[in-house]
Structure 1
Amino acid sequence: MDYSFTQHVTGDVSNTNLPAAIHGSKVLLIEDNPGDARLVEIFLADSDLHHCKVVNKTTLSDALAQLETGELFEAILLDLTLPDSRGFETLEKLVTRFPHNNIIVLTGLSDKELGVKAVKAGAQDFLIKGAFDSDSLAKSLRFSIERNRVLKRLEETQRIANIGNWEYVLSTGAFEASDEVYRIFGCPPQNMTLPPLGEKHEDCPLFTLQQVHEAASASGEFKKDLKVRLKNGEFRYVFIQCLVQTRQDGQKIFQGIIQDITERKMAEQEMVKSRERYQEIFTQSKDALFICTIDGKFVDFNQATTNLFGYSDGELLELQDAHSLYHPVERKNEFLLKLKNQKSIKDFEINIAHKSGEVRECMITANIIVTDDFVGYNCMLRDVTELRQAEKMRKARDLARQSANMKEQFLASISHEMRTPMNAIFGMSNILLQTEMSGEQFNLINSIKQSSEILLGVVNDILEISAIQNGKIVFENDSFDLHEVLSNLVNVMQYKAQEKDIFLETIIESDIPRFISGDKLRLNQVLYNLVGNAIKFTDKGFVKIYVKKLFDVQDNVQLKFIVEDTGIGIPEEKIEAIFETFTRIRQKGRIFEGTGLGLSICKNLVELQGGKIGASSMVGKGSVFYFDLIFESAEPPGKAAEPPAEEINVLAPDALFKLLLVEDHKMNQIVARKTLERKWNNIQITLAEDGQQAIEKMNEEDFDIVLMDIQMPVMDGYETTKYIRQEFSGKKSRIPILAMTAHAHISRDEKFKEYGMDDFVLKPFEPEDLFSKITKYVNSSLHEHSRKIHQS
């Protein structure tokens, strides 16, 4: 038999060194003639493609069904004459459904022209039955295999680059594209027909390409970045390029590529946002941000830079050496050296010279920048002048506070050391004044007592002004009887007024409420100071105390207290000065006794409560001191319940009670014992010289009350009280404990209450104050004990 072969491909594909993948290759043979089908199998078996598997289908419909399964074939051998399809129509059906498959048409000897036409219509090759042999069949199949390999590499390249290609035939609407195009648009990888130009089908993801075709029709070319929306609502960015070509038959074909540039676009958008954020930070930053050449010429800077240096934009750009504004020179040189060596520097302290000459303290952070045409650094300058000043002020305040605390501790320590011996002097004087003695002896002892009182007043004033300066004054708000306060004031001051034959009087307006709420102790303190001064500086005449109401709104009442005297008076130019610390009144070389702190204390106490204090005076005529404070109106206290008869008389001469005195100072032991025994002859006093001894004494017997010194060896008063409250039980754990201390600040910190003490008596003590508190707490304790006995 005479075999002949017609080659319709280019290039030499006779090389048999094809990949091992051929061994698993398959060929789809669509042939209804068993003889022809068998001949193909024989030719393949006789060639180097003998490992290829031949799948034979006898009808076009069966072949199409096989291809629909997705099974892959290296080539399709197609007979154009089939039971269900004949002639050129058979090829068209197959090409239309599966345009990317390699189709080799099998024709008869008389159909050679049909084979050529088939190639033009999309077939890869054609073989004439009866004219091809095993070599020509193998050569055509090798070309198909190699073509598939090239296409796969192309598809892989497109996938990696996110680039797909397509072709659109305007007249037929036929559209072919690589798999990557369908992936980009989220469409199934199959042939699609676009809507005709002019018709809009926006639900079609490929509608974007139709728009491209419309644009390209006018200019012949299209190139643009587009944002497309997929069916699932997702947006993607694509780059599309399209060219319009006209075939010889006049048909217009649109060919183009499409690239998924979503990631690049997102990165670009993020970069734009980043630039905008940077620009906003750069513009809005309160810190000076700038770029400078290594020799000190400004390149770029923000508004804060011009504000910091004080120069305009133009002046900064014209400045030849920005480093000349860095001070001092040593720090500038150190900065530049470190920057060059380390390439980066952070929070370097340096001063900046403002255009006005003002020097600003700054922190500089900089990084070297080196490019092909630039050497310099970017810089952030933070003005810390105010911060440094605030830090200095804070340190100064801390130092002042520390100094004030040390001063207060020193004064408290001195006060304690002074009050301890003063308690002995004061107490012994009181005891001696109650004994029989001559008039001269009485006067001498009384002078000792008065001198002690003056010294105590000095100590109290110094401690009070220290507490005010340190902000440790606490104001109470308790209800009290205003008439009683003024009556007690007159009673205490009366003897001093009588000594100088001065008339002392209190005048209260009738519409002033008798019961008010406020700080009774501080009101007393101010009035005692003002009235005491008035008596001290008045040799004849009177001292009058007025109380007037300024206003009464709801529950608040503002009262004005006036102290008027007929004393020596004060020069007008000295009125303001007398309220300053350590200011004393002089008269013709005479300096009146006192610390010069009393009026300063009064001023602070009044103003700290929101009031005002002032004075008016005429030399030789007298003075008027006045202050106002706001109080709350209060209800009269209810009538106190009458205590049982045994409670009233518990400290009567026939009622023995036992007192534990805990005191380490010998003289204070004597003063306390003598003072108490002279008051009550039915008292039994047991002495303990430290806290440990006190606990031992309480283990041995019962007591009615404890007088507890605070500062003692072995075990101090606080720890002793804590032990008694926690370790003893029953009546002993509840025994009244009064602190007897020379610590003047005890009333402020109330530490004694935290440890369980009931009250305190300040040394040197007033006997009546001590007697009153002992009576109060012993009666209360015995009454409670008696009530519990009756209940049981």
Structure 2
Amino acid sequence: MSGTSLGKYQYKDAIEIAMDLVEESKKRKNNYYHYVGHNILGSSYYDLNDTLRAKKHYEDALIAAEKTSNDTLLLGAYNNLGNIYSEDKNTTQIGIDYYNLVINLAAKLKNEEQILNPTVNIAWTYIDNKQYKRAWPYLEKSWQLYGNRKDPFIESQLSNLTGRYYLGVNNLDSAAVYFEKAVQMVEQDSLILQASYVYENYADFLYRSGKFKDAFLALERYNDYKSQIFRQERMQEIEAANIKFDVAEYQKNLEIARNEQVLKDEIIERSRETMLIMIISSIILIIILLALFKITVSRRKLISELSVKNKELVRAKEEAERLSILKTKFFSTISHELRTPLYGVIGLTSILLEDKSLSKHEEDLKSLKFSADYLLALINDVLQMNKMESNLVKLETVPLNVGDLMRSIVKSFEFTRLQNQNSIQLDIDDNIPNNLKGDPVRLSQVLMNLVGNAMKFTERGNIHIGAHLIEETETGAGILFRVKDDGLGIPESKHEVIFEEFSQLKSANYNYQGTGLGLPIVKKLLLLFDSEIHLESEEGKGSTFSFTINFPKDDKAVAPAISSNDIANQIDAGKDGAIGKTILIVDDNRINQVVTQRILEQQGFTCDISDNGALAVEKVRARHYDLILMDVNMPGISGLEATRQIRKFNALVPVVALTAVEIEEIREEILEAGMNDIIVKPYDTTVFYQVIYRNISSEVVPSPL
């Protein structure tokens, strides 16, 4: 009965029944009921914040439990005293000692259910006292004891404590995981009291992480919950004061009833005690009002400070946006400045490789070209990441042949394959439709990065590249891509880290250390395809990267695939059409002029050179050209302006832009200026010839890739 009254917060009834139980147990010398009576009295006074009386009754309960030799009673007595002593910083260790008594006894009894609460309480106590090294073993043990339970209150409490621990040891990444988990749980299950603790600690974490705006929002949530709790606590405090008054009055009346014959003058004393209680109650109410006032003032001050921080955040945001614009401009400029000399290096190397008299230097020239291509790839990775961060990357939807794309990718890695003595196995499902649509450039970037990674960390091994049809409908097809190697492998602890920007695994193969941008680019590009990367890897046993993309089908008739031999035959056939054709090369860079001229002369074209846009305009006025290769960025008159002037008197001559600038940044300007096509430097020679033939004459135009 007393326990029922306590559970319903009917403290007066609970204390009355418990006192009768204590008196009766003394008469019968029953230690078990003596323990139960004192335990209920201790719990009642503990709820009423009367810790002195609560401690006294809990100690009496412990004495009774020891006399019964009942381990279950001892567990409860030790835990109750641990709660009392751990809340006072002067007696923290005593509280922890009692919790350890619970843990040791429960372990002896093999009762894991009784170990969880004291373990959590010890971790909590140490974290409150900023003793994080001592807290961690108990916190880790708490998670183990919790196991697979589904208790939102305990799990949110553990997540909050774990977040506080990681915040205390300055591990902000781990702290973020647990705080966000705690926030989700308290919001989902409407745990108001726990939510106030979680948002208070979460706001502190966000502030220390430099996320001031998010910290401000978290503090607002904390204030909302605190206001709700405050209203509840205020009512509870007023009711507690009334209950204390009723309990004290009851104890006094009970004492009067028991000593009525010898304490008749107690009526006068009762009046004094009543007055004293009223005075104490009044003081308590005054203290509560003062506390309310102080909290209000503190809240206003905090809001004012947050307002200042919010303004600082706005200024910081504006500055970040300005710096982002500057960064974008910087990358655009640097891409042009880096690609221009690379154009000369790659172009001259390609020309020298075709010179049979230099065959003894063929390996050196291949190494030189590979290094230049690798440097270009690094530059493209950095520029690609910058564009994705600026949300400038959009997918195109054009006809896509998966088989041709993958075969082309494998061929591009031939030099690296030979250098590392690897074997490549290409497996393309014959059932994959040929009438798919997608973005071959972005898909190629994904596969190139994955194959490149496999090449870097595999020596004298096997690399398997596959594409398999997993689902086909009338409107589309789902294809599973897989890149597998038997190289170094990736430790499980690094499976998430490798997808972060600029992160790298240590490798003995120092010839292929990159920027650490390949896998982050893969992850972000796949998000554009509504897909995600999956990794299976074990250190020393290789890695497997896989992803699935759903491609729509092309309703138009499927054109026959063009093989590499077909392309080569078309270019060879184009030589006859090149004889007698004159091309004007407009470029301010002498090396670029030489490279472009030699590449064109190998096909039989006649070339004329112009160093600037103004001279190019005059030359076009003076004679006929079959095609103009126009550099975009030149001093004086730019290629765009020169093209506009030429179009005023010659609307037919094909003008092809030759530029090292990112094509997405300048495509619209090029087309508006009147140019017919675009070649991005440095370029693949085969693609270069295709663009030339496509624009110079319809009679020798090979089919585009």
TM-score normalised to the size of structure 1? 0.48
With over 3 angstroms needed to count, the CA separation of the structure-2 counterparts of 1:524 and 1:654, relative to structure 1, is closer
Q: Is the 8 A contact 1:585 1:592 kept in 2?
A: no
Q: Give runs of aligned pairs for residues 122-137 of structure 1, distance below 5 A.
A: none
With over 3 angstroms needed to count, the CA separation of the structure-2 counterparts of 1:445 and 1:485, relative to structure 1, is closer
With over 3 angstroms needed to count, the CA separation of the structure-2 counterparts of 1:478 and 1:669, relative to structure 1, is same
Q: Which residue of 2 aligns with 1:706?
A: 628
Q: Is the 8 A contact 2:694 2:700 kept in 1?
A: no
SS at match of 1:359: helix
With over 3 angstroms needed to count, the CA separation of the structure-2 counterparts of 1:509 and 1:650, relative to structure 1, is closer
Aligned counterpart in structure 2 of residue 604 of structure 1, from 513, 517, 524: 524
Aligned counterpart in structure 2 of residue 354 of structure 1, from 293, 296, 299: 296
Supply the distance in 1 between the matched residues of 2:666 and 2:528 (Cα, whole angstroms).
Answer: 16
With over 3 angstroms needed to count, the CA separation of the structure-2 counterparts of 1:509 and 1:450, relative to structure 1, is closer
Q: Is the 8 A contact 2:584 2:610 kept in 1?
A: yes
Q: Which amino acid aligns with 1:704?
A: D
Q: Which amino acid aligns with 2:599?
A: T
Supply the distance in 2 between the matched residues of 1:457 and 1:717 (Cα, whole angstroms).
Answer: 26
- Deviation (angstroms), 1:639: 5.3
SS at match of 2:625: coil
Q: Which residue of 1 aligns with 2:669?
A: 751
Q: Give runs of aligned pairs for residues 525-674 of structure 1, distance below 5 A.
A: 525-588=445-508, 590=510, 592-635=512-555, 637=557, 651-652=575-576, 655-674=579-598
- Deviation (angstroms), 1:502: 2.5
| 1:721 corresponds to 2:643 | yes
Supply the distance in 1 between the matched residues of 2:666 and 2:396 (Cα, whole angstroms).
Answer: 11
- Deviation (angstroms), 1:779: 2.4
- Deviation (angstroms), 1:506: 2.2
- Deviation (angstroms), 1:429: 1.4
Task: Tell me which structure has the larger Cα radius of gyration.
Answer: 1
Q: Is the 8 A contact 1:570 1:623 kept in 2?
A: yes
With over 3 angstroms needed to count, the CA separation of the structure-2 counterparts of 1:479 and 1:594, relative to structure 1, is same
- Deviation (angstroms), 1:663: 0.3
Supply the distance in 2 between the matched residues of 1:588 and 1:540 (Cα, whole angstroms).
Answer: 14
With over 3 angstroms needed to count, the CA separation of the structure-2 counterparts of 1:609 and 1:615, relative to structure 1, is same
Q: Give runs of aligned pairs for residues 97-176 of structure 1, distance below 5 A.
A: none
Q: Which residue of 2 aligns with 1:448?
A: 368
- Deviation (angstroms), 1:394: 4.4
Q: Which residue of 2 aligns with 1:464?
A: 384
Supply the distance in 2 between the matched residues of 1:662 and 1:762 (Cα, whole angstroms).
Answer: 15
Q: Which residue of 2 aligns with 1:739?
A: 657
- Deviation (angstroms), 1:357: 4.1
| 1:773 corresponds to 2:697 | no
With over 3 angstroms needed to count, the CA separation of the structure-2 counterparts of 1:526 and 1:697, relative to structure 1, is same
Supply the distance in 1 between the matched residues of 2:301 and 2:377 (Cα, whole angstroms).
Answer: 52
Q: Which residue of 2 aligns with 1:51?
A: none
With over 3 angstroms needed to count, the CA separation of the structure-2 counterparts of 1:547 and 1:589, relative to structure 1, is closer
| 1:686 corresponds to 2:581 | no
SS at match of 1:522: helix
With over 3 angstroms needed to count, the CA separation of the structure-2 counterparts of 1:588 and 1:648, relative to structure 1, is closer
SS at match of 2:452: helix
Please, what is the CA RMSD of the aligned residues? Answer: 3.8
- Deviation (angstroms), 1:463: 0.6
With over 3 angstroms needed to count, the CA separation of the structure-2 counterparts of 1:649 and 1:568, relative to structure 1, is closer
Q: Which amino acid aligns with 1:472?
A: L
Aligned counterpart in structure 2 of residue 764 of structure 1, from 665, 682, 688: 682
Q: Which residue of 2 aligns with 1:485?
A: 405
Supply the distance in 1 between the matched residues of 2:465 and 2:420 (Cα, whole angstroms).
Answer: 18
Comparing 528-537 with 579-588, which one deviates more in the overlay? Answer: 579-588
- What are the Cα deviations for residues 727-782 of structure 1, in whole angstroms up to 9, with x where unaligned? 12xxx313222111121354675432232322222222222221111011112388
With over 3 angstroms needed to count, the CA separation of the structure-2 counterparts of 1:706 and 1:569, relative to structure 1, is same
SS at match of 1:569: coil
Q: Which amino acid aligns with 1:689?
A: D
- Deviation (angstroms), 1:657: 0.7
Supply the distance in 1 between the matched residues of 2:295 and 2:669 (Cα, whole angstroms).
Answer: 55
Q: Is the 8 A contact 2:398 2:439 kept in 1?
A: yes
- Deviation (angstroms), 1:354: 3.3
How many matched pairs?
418
SS at match of 1:612: coil
Q: Is the 8 A contact 2:489 2:541 kept in 1?
A: yes
- Deviation (angstroms), 1:589: 8.5
- Deviation (angstroms), 1:396: 3.2
Q: Is the 8 A contact 1:721 1:756 kept in 2?
A: yes
SS at match of 2:533: strand
Q: Which amino acid aligns with 1:773?
A: V
| 1:476 corresponds to 2:406 | no
Q: Give runs of aligned pairs for residues 129-278 of structure 1, distance below 5 A.
A: none
Q: Is the 8 A contact 1:516 1:634 kept in 2?
A: yes
- Deviation (angstroms), 1:558: 2.6
Supply the distance in 2 between the matched residues of 1:398 and 1:752 (Cα, whole angstroms).
Answer: 32
- Deviation (angstroms), 1:428: 1.5
Supply the distance in 1 between the matched residues of 2:418 and 2:441 (Cα, whole angstroms).
Answer: 25
Q: Which amino acid aligns with 1:655?
A: I
Q: Which amino acid aligns with 1:707?
A: L
SS at match of 2:488: coil
Judging by fraction of residues, say which structure has more helix.
2
Q: Is the 8 A contact 1:736 1:781 kept in 2?
A: no
SS at match of 1:454: helix
- What are the Cα deviations for residues 14-44 of structure 1, in whole angstroms up to 9, with x where unaligned? xxxxxxxxxxxxxxxxxxxxxxxxxxxxxxx
Q: Which amino acid aligns with 1:705?
A: L
Q: Is the 8 A contact 1:408 1:463 kept in 2?
A: no
- Deviation (angstroms), 1:407: 1.4
Q: Which amino acid aligns with 1:735?
A: V
Q: Which amino acid aligns with 1:673?
A: Q
Q: Which amino acid aligns with 1:687?
A: I
With over 3 angstroms needed to count, the CA separation of the structure-2 counterparts of 1:452 and 1:495, relative to structure 1, is closer
Q: Which residue of 1 aligns with 2:69?
A: none
TM-score normalised to the size of structure 2? 0.53
- Deviation (angstroms), 1:697: 1.0
With over 3 angstroms needed to count, the CA separation of the structure-2 counterparts of 1:571 and 1:438, relative to structure 1, is same
Supply the distance in 2 between the matched residues of 1:737 and 1:393 (Cα, whole angstroms).
Answer: 49
With over 3 angstroms needed to count, the CA separation of the structure-2 counterparts of 1:747 and 1:594, relative to structure 1, is same
Q: Is the 8 A contact 1:738 1:759 kept in 2?
A: yes
Supply the distance in 2 between the matched residues of 1:421 and 1:654 (Cα, whole angstroms).
Answer: 28
Judging by fraction of residues, say which structure has more strand.
1
Q: Is the 8 A contact 1:735 1:781 kept in 2?
A: no
Q: Is the 8 A contact 1:415 1:742 kept in 2?
A: yes
Q: Which residue of 2 aligns with 1:421?
A: 341
Q: Is the 8 A contact 1:433 1:445 kept in 2?
A: yes
Supply the distance in 2 between the matched residues of 1:403 and 1:749 (Cα, whole angstroms).
Answer: 25
Supply the distance in 2 between the matched residues of 1:583 and 1:492 (Cα, whole angstroms).
Answer: 25
- Deviation (angstroms), 1:539: 1.2
Q: Is the 8 A contact 2:629 2:657 kept in 1?
A: yes
Q: Which amino acid aligns with 1:434?
A: E
Supply the distance in 2 between the matched residues of 1:385 and 1:417 (Cα, whole angstroms).
Answer: 45
SS at match of 1:714: coil
Q: Which residue of 2 aligns with 1:430?
A: 350
- Deviation (angstroms), 1:529: 1.1
